[in-house]
Amino acid sequence: MKKTRFYQKHLNANAKIVSFAGYEMPIQYPKGIIFEHNLVRNSVGMFDVSHMGEFEVKGKDALAFIQKITTNDASKLSPGKVQYSAMCYENGGIVDDLLVYCIEPEFWMLVVNGANINKDWDWCLKNKEGFEVELYNATDDINLLAIQGPNSKATIQKIADIDLNPIEYYNFKMGKISDFDAIISRTGYTGELGFELYFRGDTSVAEKIWDDVLEAGKEFGLEPVGLGCRDTLRLEKAYCLYGNDIDETTNPIEAGLGWITKLNKGKFNGSDVLAKVKEEKPKRNLVGFVITVDKFIPRQHYKIYADEKQIGEVTSGNLSPTLNKTIGLGYVEAAYKEPGTKIEIEARGKFFPAEVVKLPFVV
Amino acid sequence: MNFPEELKYTQDHEWIKVDGNIATIGITDHAQGELGDVVYVDIPDDITEVSAGQSFGTIEAVKTVADLFAPVSGKIIEVNRSLNDNPEIVNKDPYGEGWMIRIEMSNPAELDTLMDVEAYKAMLGK
């Protein structure tokens, strides 16, 4: 099991550690997931997300290579811009969702899910043939902290050597954090104002930046927050989680990721199948629902019923601390996808009433 | 972590406090810590009698769901309904305000099958 360079800091903060994506990661700290969730929504929290994978793509054909392996149109990017995208197999199934960073016209970075690093790396190598590109798996070199919440900018500004104000959502700048080179990226998985800091360096560098962020955020009550609230925060915004809401058996169109599937950009992995799915309309769709009556949390793989037959399956579910309601995502047959549709979730031999709602759950 | 001396414990991490033939039941400090934030405690109204080992409800936490098991047999004479609105009490005070049900025991000899504090600690490796 791998450890990030913040591991000792997690132990010092009495984190509850779990295995996740091959790393020992903090799922929560002693105050708990709901506290951490609200801290990010209302002020600012700091996540260690160094388990994410970073692949560097350099060379003359870097853009052409990325265009082939991803669904979104990377030609729209210029240096300093970030794009949410996906990689698909030829059959349209999703290899992974990812962020694409344009650092220079011939220097790009792909940020992939920690649990998929090996699979994605192999997939990139397999697709590299014919392209003049050099790939480097920088995962073990790069530390990644996500500082998220309305007070994140005021926090990071104190330890950054550049003005953060001009950095718009899904943009980044190279700068220094505590005198160390970093990619300062206005991105995140929480739906709040937030910054992700990518930086190289050993444990002493990582711990220095960790301590400096904590100190800078002290006046806002900043605390380290774990993967548990990362999940509840992203679910309220209906951001897909790979392994739950999307995987190799789902395609971006049915997952509601048509907006990152640019069929007019030219051929790419899976484009023929995806064009057909779009044309014929998906048979099932990822929808959001709320539990309307009972005290019950829907969990992955619980079955969804309507009209006395199974019409789908839950992919994610949890309490929404912001709404104080139970919410979930799942695939349902297309006839049941409209907001207002009454459905039922089966668990433990009981049927719990729910209703399809418009996404996101929390605007 | 807190392990009150006077309680009996089960392998499913419930505690039992005995007063005459009345047993008060809740989940242990270890259990609430493992579950994390408790968001719902669901004890159905229609269960009035339980036998030892039977599920009397479920507890939903942010990360997982767990069944609640009756450690002893008998009639459920009281349910802690304040957990409906304030399930977080189970996290804050698992051995006090976070109690769940009271059972009028029909077979107090079942208590002999439960663990004392030392055995429970040993099971947890404490």
Closest Cβ opposite residue A34 in set B37, B40, B42:
B37
What is residue A295's predicted lDDT score, i.e. its pLDDT? 80
Instruction: For residue B55, give the chain A residue with the closest CA.
Output: A348
Do B60 and A295 make contact, defined as CB atoms within 8 angstroms? yes
Cβ–Cβ < 8 Å for A197, A159: no
Q: Is the ipTM of this complex over 0.90?
A: no
Distance CA B78, CA B100 (A): 8
For chain B, list the domains and their CATH numbers.
13-124 (2.40.50.100)
Do B42 and A296 make contact, defined as CB atoms within 8 angstroms? yes
Residue whose entry in the numeric block shows the structure tokens 């290899």: A95
pLDDT in tens, B68-87: 999 999 999 999 999 988 99
What is residue A321's predicted lDDT score, i.e. its pLDDT? 94
Helices A227-236 and A33-42: angle between axes, nearest 10 degrees: 60
Q: What is the mean pLDDT of residues B50-63?
A: 93
- How many CB pairs below 8 A link A and B? 38
Residue A165's CB is within 10 A of a number of other CB atoms, namely 8
Number of residues in chain A: 363
Q: What is the mean pLDDT of residues B24-46?
A: 93
HEC readout, A263-276:
HHHCCCCCHHHHHH
What is residue B63's predicted lDDT score, i.e. its pLDDT? 84
B108-to-A299, A360, B15 alpha-carbon distances in Å: 37, 53, 15
B-chain residues within 8 Å CB-CB of A294?
Answer: 42
Mean pLDDT by 10 residues, chain A (363 residues): 97 96 96 97 98 98 98 98 98 98 98 98 97 98 98 98 98 98 98 98 98 98 98 98 98 98 97 97 98 90 97 97 95 98 94 97 95
Are β-strands A45-48 and A223-224 bridged in parallel, bridged antiparallel, or unpaired? parallel
For residue B2, pLDDT beyond 90: no
Q: What is the mean pLDDT of residues B31-54?
A: 93
Rounded to two decimals, the pTM is 0.92
Do A16 and B36 make contact, defined as CB atoms within 8 angstroms? yes
Do A32 and B42 make contact, defined as CB atoms within 8 angstroms? no
Q: What does the buried/exposed string (b/e) look like for B12-42 if buried means 16 or more CB atoms within 10 Å of the residue's CB?
A: bbbbbbbeeeebbbbbbbbbbeebbbbbbbb
Which residues 51-110 of chain B have a CB within 8 Å of chain A? 58, 60, 62-63, 65, 84, 88, 91
* Backbone angle region of B34, left / alpha / beta, with phi > 0 → left and psi within -120 to 50 → alpha: alpha
The CA distance from B14 to the nearest CA of chain A, in Å, is: 21
What is residue A348's predicted lDDT score, i.e. its pLDDT? 85
* Backbone angle region of A348, left / alpha / beta, with phi > 0 → left and psi within -120 to 50 → alpha: left
